[in-house]
A and B are shown apart, each in its own frame.
Chain A
């Protein structure tokens, strides 16, 4: 009995000793609400998954935390001198994977083909690519179906895997849920990135340690030698963990707790506008709406009604009251870092109930009508509260809005299936270019484009220009097309912009970083005080 107790005691001592030594000054303990879904770098194109993979894997070109594109695994990229449909990439030499393999052009060809395969979540970003070929051990050519000036923008989240490692371990295919197969790459990682995955238990803890043979040692601060990640879903618990210094960094401080964190000793809140705009979409294309009070006509098809609704939204009140100052009112459904954004486009109309009522009168809806608003309640910051505020604002111009707030898993299918008349949606632009917005939100819905256009809006002239954007090589010409497309979009007013979200990161004063507009943390840039 005594010996067993001693053994237990020794075990206890041993584990506490491990706990004590593993937490040293360079460990960064990080928490956020969401957990990465998989370790497979091509299976899920989803923020938190990409964030974890960004520490372990690397793309050819990396968007740094200030939003600028910088050389990662490619040191140089140029359009080919001979063929306008080809981009030539020069690869970085002397890069090794975590398990020791050398990175070269064969890995790029393999990874690109894997990212373009049927089960990859990233294949749409590469839909213009027809062939990827190695022309030397450290040069790669990517051919597209027409000139594609923006190809490099689409590569910033396409991670590079080792061909040999993937082949040996049967990880050539991307995770296939339907096949019922468990893919090796979903729980094993072997990248070239600054951090090596040490251990991972999904929804519990993930430990990353610095990669000793990382090519970027000396080039980047790499102040954190160990990163311990824990997802903490409950917002109150997450803030408590930061306040009690059990974690050093949380990516999502709820707006109601900002002051509390700011006032706490040793903690900071750092803030920046996010690459995500929040807006209402309106079913303008239907002959009649299903859940409104008007029979045989669609009030939203009338531009005057849409204009009235636009000026009935008091964007500053939403910013002050609903968001507690943590948003930037918007006049266009395009976040400011996106190419094509101008101050003029983002100017929003003043709140004017009298003018709105006049427009309603003119459109023949002086007595108002009833409409249903579909709103998510667990996707964007204070999404349901925004909708509630809007209900009150539309009531002032006689539009009785019935609010239906649902979880994201039920809300988004309404938009995908065209079952909503009036809805809230948020949109981020990973390519930082207007084309991405036009493709998904303005193009007529068909098999390849317009998948998020839930408005039934269709404009043949715009469609043609949108398709033309993807192959226009003259950048000035292209900018002109973007500007005129935005002008047409403004005139049609099928979306009512509300604001751009603001990111609030809570961080211990020991650490310094800038806020990434895509909410993508890249720990290699973190420095210590």
Chain B
């Protein structure tokens, strides 16, 4: 078991290193930061001097090595765009993204399961069919369009909700939260719906098909034959048995909610790491891009590692195989 964990952790570190290498090989195609850092009046001499100072004249492997050297010491460098330490900027922005992801994930789960159960039980009703048809929109419309449609409806036409930003935030230690103010909570509504809509429809469709499957099983029929109430049959027996795949999928989708947040954050000017990353790309802010990509890959690798380790815990066959090899 221990050697298995050790091997998996080693593999994960290798994956991280390769991601970093690929990222650094790609940065040169994003563009040249020098033009953004020097004004219109820069001379060719200034350009050369700054390029040399930043080490951008070095091969990408050397640049990557320098980044790694700093990163293992916890120093991710200075942002070219903001002139501040990258670690500090990311720490400042991460709460916004995590809060948004948490609320959208929660919204997707609750509404998705609710509607999924509803459409499974009333499978031929008018409302179910309408919901199923509408859910196609959630799957097929691009995120930015949904966001802009919501803004036009709820901000411009109705004037109910803010169209941009996080509202007022409260600082709790190093964490800025929008949960404690009215404007902060209102500001969360539209971006969360935009970000969670796809996951919501996914979960809804999954729950519905699982429910339909389970409702056909013998034990449901027996439960009905025992004279149990419809509510108890649907929720105590059927729903419980559909949740296992739902939880697996939700867990895996958590990563993509954070990754998809880039688009939602741009539409709503949501000050999270996604918006930070977009700005970094436009400016060719290499230290920020590198740190963000590392952060996201650490997250994905960690999720996958956790899943793999859970499988080992659940499935003894993997353990014995690990022991012999």
Contacts and interface: CB of A to CB of B under 8 A. Distances in A.
Pairs A-B, 8 closest by C-beta atoms: A409-B31, A45-B39, A178-B53, A124-B41, A413-B32, A410-B31, A15-B181, A121-B39
Given A178-B50, A409-B33, A409-B36, A204 B166 contact: yes
Contacts of A231: 269
B168 A124 contact: no
B83 A177 contact: yes
A12 B152 contact: no
B181 A183 contact: no
A201 B271 CA distance: 10
Interface in B250-279: 266-269, 271, 275-276, 278-279
A246 B83 contact: no
Interface string A56-76: 000000000000000000000
Contacts of A201: 92, 271
A45 B284 contact: no
B180 A121 contact: no
A233 interface: yes
A447 B45 contact: yes
B83 A175 contact: yes
A12 B180 contact: yes
Given A15-B182, A236-B148, A241-B164, A412 B32 contact: yes
B42 A243 contact: no
Interface in B287-302: none
A304 interface: no
Given A121-B41, A177-B83, 19 more contacts: A11-B170, A12-B180, A37-B81, A37-B83, A38-B82, A203-B271, A203-B276, A237-B163, A237-B268, A238-B164, A240-B155, A241-B163, A243-B156, A246-B155, A407-B31, A428-B40, A430-B40, A447-B43, A448-B45
B15 interface: no
A181 B78 contact: yes
Interface string A442-454: 0001111101100
B322 interface: no
Contacts of B50: 177-178
A240 B156 contact: yes
B95 interface: no
Interface in B5-42: 29-42
Contact of B182 (A16, A38, A43, A202): A16
Nearest to B40: A45
Contacts of A310: none
Contacts of B144: 234
Residue from the set B34, B83, B266 with the largest chain A CB neighbour count within 10 Å = B83
Given A177-B37, A240-B156, A410-B31, A448 B148 contact: no
Interface string A162-205: 00000000000001011011110011000000000000011111
A433 to B, nearest CB: 13
B202 to A, nearest CB: 25
A412 to B, nearest CB: 4
A234 B269 contact: yes
B284 A409 contact: yes
B276 A205 contact: no
Interface in B77-104: 77-78, 80-85, 89, 92
B189 to A, nearest CB: 15
B156 A19 contact: no
A246 B164 contact: yes
Contacts of A354: none
A12 B82 contact: no
Nearest to A239: B156
Nearest to A409: B31
A122 interface: yes
B162 interface: yes
B96 to A, nearest CB: 9
B63 to A, nearest CB: 13
19 contacts: A11-B180, A15-B180, A16-B183, A18-B168, A121-B42, A122-B41, A175-B83, A182-B83, A183-B83, A186-B84, A234-B148, A240-B163, A240-B164, A243-B156, A409-B30, A409-B31, A413-B31, A440-B40, A447-B44
Contacts of A217: none
A335 B278 CA distance: 32
Interface in A344-392: 378
Interface in A28-62: 35, 37-38, 40, 43-46
Contacts of A46: 39
Interface in A223-243: 230-234, 236-238, 240-241, 243
Most chain B CB within 10 A, of A201, A246, A409, A452, is at A409
Main secondary structure of the interface of A (DSSP, over half): loop
A205 B85 CA distance: 19
Contacts of B239: none
A465 interface: no
Contacts of B162: 246
A433 B165 CA distance: 41
Contacts of B313: none
A24 interface: no
A244 B156 contact: yes
B163 A246 contact: yes
Contacts of B183: 15-16, 19
Interface of B: 29-45, 47, 50, 53-54, 75, 77-78, 80-85, 89, 92, 144, 148, 151-152, 155-156, 159, 162-166, 168, 170, 180-183, 266-269, 271, 275-276, 278-279, 282-284
A416 B35 CA distance: 9
Contacts of B78: 177, 180-182
B316 to A, nearest CB: 44
Contacts of B36: 408-409
Contacts of A234: 144, 148, 266-269
Interface in A417-453: 428, 430, 440, 445-449, 451-452
A44 B276 CA distance: 19
A403 interface: no
Nearest to B266: A234
Nearest to A378: B282
B39 A182 contact: no
A445 B283 CA distance: 26
Contacts of A203: 271, 275-276, 279
Contacts of B159: 244-245
A181 B182 CA distance: 39
A40 B83 contact: yes
Contacts of B170: 11, 15
A440 B163 CA distance: 42
A233 B144 CA distance: 13
A201 B275 CA distance: 14
A244 B190 CA distance: 15
The interface centre, meaning the residue of A175, A203, A205, A230 with most chain B CB atoms within 10 A of its CB, is: A203
Most chain-B Cβ atoms within 10 A of its Cβ — which of A37, A175, A407, A412? A37
A95 interface: no
B270 to A, nearest CB: 10
Contacts of A19: 168, 181-183
A397 B266 CA distance: 42
A395 interface: no
A240 B77 contact: no
B300 to A, nearest CB: 25
Contacts of A321: none
Contacts of A238: 164
A448 B43 contact: yes
A410 B30 contact: yes
Contacts of A15: 168, 170, 180-183
